[in-house]
Copies of this chain bind each other. A is one copy, B any other.
Amino acid sequence: MKQYRVGLIGTGFIGRAHSIALQGVGAVFPEVTAPVCEILADRDAAGAARSAAAMGFARSTGDWRQLVRDPAVDIVSICSPNYLHREMALAAIAAGKHVWCEKPLALDAAEAREVADAAARAGVVNLVGFNYSCNPLVRVAQSMIAAGDLGRILGFNGRYFEDYMADPAVPYSWRCERRFAGAGALADLGSHLIDMAEALLGPIESVFARLETLHGSRRVPATGETRPVENEDVARGLVRFSRGVGGSFDISRVATGFKCGLAFTVFGSAGSLSFDQERMNELRFYAGADATGRRGFRTILAGPEHPDYGHFCPAPGHGLGINDLKVIEARNLLRAIADGRPAHPGFDVGLRVQRVMDAMERSHAAGAWIDI
């Protein structure tokens, strides 16, 4: 099997996560040949060189366009701020590269459609970084829902709480500016929740939402001045899935005390499932068919019965981590490339998520339900 060469753009949180996943995936998944960390791009050449040394990349560049054009590169990993996703993805697609782009796919649905269409036309493999739905326990949940283990689905309750901007003293950053980040909590956290909801229950067909900015302005560290925050800290919504199920969303980046609180409950007439990323190795399952007086939510610990857990560890309950989810994502990408078929979750998923986000923003503005 061919050893693919990766060009990675970005050296922050998620750039390092890609790098760790790319270097780890070969040891975990024998079906995949370990890729080569070929070249790393950052804003300037010196920083890129330092990061390449630290992160284990062979070469580096201060110019991402050069990376995208590099004939040695098979795959481009895009780990830059949101506003660059579209441009970089289009350039990579134009250069015939496979693309692994972080979420959200773009700043809005129009951009996302442009990118998804370009990728589809070019026939390159594409993947968007929705790592949480790659959790083996989420796949269990999906298959249980699909198999009818919960009976008729009656509702969805989802939330994604983090608190990285709860403190008003958190400084102004690109995340506060629409031209750089697009939406706020909705784009950063809500995109994951929407992906999760649709992964479990299929497409959302209509939404009602209200957005709020709790800390209206923040201090710019460089200048000391105070600037208005242009996007929302909180997004709350009601949703309606195409399959005729209703649900609620609560999304916040100012949810003091929560660190990675992506959680959902799916209610069915015969059972329910509950999950919380802060306890990512546990799936809670209530089986209505259990004997009277013996019913209760089971805490199912992730184990080798839940693909792909067994590739990481043959013993149950020993625990996967967030980076392991990225390894699964990397495997999805590399296997799709090797097999010449689409990867999942692809840019089509990224586009669908973006459309729901856009609809939530429009609903807030209109104070009305919006169809997608």
Query: Which residues of A pack against B, CB within 8 Å?
Result: 13, 16-17, 19-20, 22-24, 26-28, 30, 34, 53-56, 140, 150, 154-155, 157, 159, 164, 166-168, 208, 210, 212, 214, 233-234, 236-238, 246-248, 250, 252, 254-261, 265, 267-272, 274, 277-288, 290, 292-301, 303, 305-306, 312-324, 367-369
Q: How many copies does the complex hold?
A: 4
Choose from B256, B299, B369 the contact partner of A367 (Cβ within 8 Å).
B369
Task: Please report the C-alpha to C-alpha distance between residue A246 and residue B301 in the assembled complex, in whole angstroms.
Answer: 27
Choose from B17, B208, B236, B268 the contact partner of A313 (Cβ within 8 Å).
B17
Known: A30-B54, A313-B322, A319-B322. A155 touches B254 (CB 8 A): yes
Q: Of all chain B residues, which has the CB nearest A270?
A: B256
- Is the CB–CB distance between A315 and B166 below 8 Å? no
- Is the CB–CB distance between A295 and B300 below 8 Å? yes
Known: A236-B238, A303-B293, A312-B323. A210 touches B24 (CB 8 A): no
- Is the CB–CB distance between A27 and B55 below 8 Å? yes
- Is the CB–CB distance between A315 and B13 below 8 Å? yes
Q: Of all chain B residues, which has the CB nearest A164?
A: B315
Choose from B17, B154, B248 the contact partner of A236 (Cβ within 8 Å).
B248
Choose from B255, B268, B313 the contact partner of A267 (Cβ within 8 Å).
B255
Q: Which residues of B contact A274 (CB under 8 A)?
A: 257
Q: Of all chain B residues, which has the CB nearest A252?
A: B155
- A-B pairs, top 8 by smallest CB distance, nearest first, are A259-B317, A257-B286, A321-B321, A293-B305, A30-B54, A296-B298, A296-B300, A23-B27
Q: Of all chain B residues, which has the CB nearest A132?
A: B318
Choose from B56, B210, B214, B322 the contact partner of A26 (Cβ within 8 Å).
B56
- Is the CB–CB distance between A321 and B315 below 8 Å? no
Task: Please report the C-alpha to C-alpha distance between residue A88 and residue B348 in the assembled complex, in whole angstroms.
Answer: 53
- Is the CB–CB distance between A296 and B301 below 8 Å? yes
- Is the CB–CB distance between B367 and A140 below 8 Å? no
Task: Please report the C-alpha to C-alpha distance between residue A140 and residue B292 in the assembled complex, in whole angstroms.
Answer: 12
Q: Of all chain B residues, which has the CB nearest A149?
A: B294
Task: Please report the C-alpha to C-alpha distance between residue A252 and residue B157 in the assembled complex, in whole angstroms.
Answer: 11
Q: Which residues of B contact A293 (CB under 8 A)?
A: 140, 300, 303, 305-306
Task: Please report the C-alpha to C-alpha distance between residue A300 and residue B316 in the assembled complex, in whole angstroms.
Answer: 23
Task: Please report the C-alpha to C-alpha distance between residue A32 and residue B270 in the assembled complex, in whole angstroms.
Answer: 39
Task: Please report the C-alpha to C-alpha distance between residue A267 and residue B19 in the assembled complex, in whole angstroms.
Answer: 35
Task: Please report the C-alpha to C-alpha distance between residue A314 and residue B283 in the assembled complex, in whole angstroms.
Answer: 25
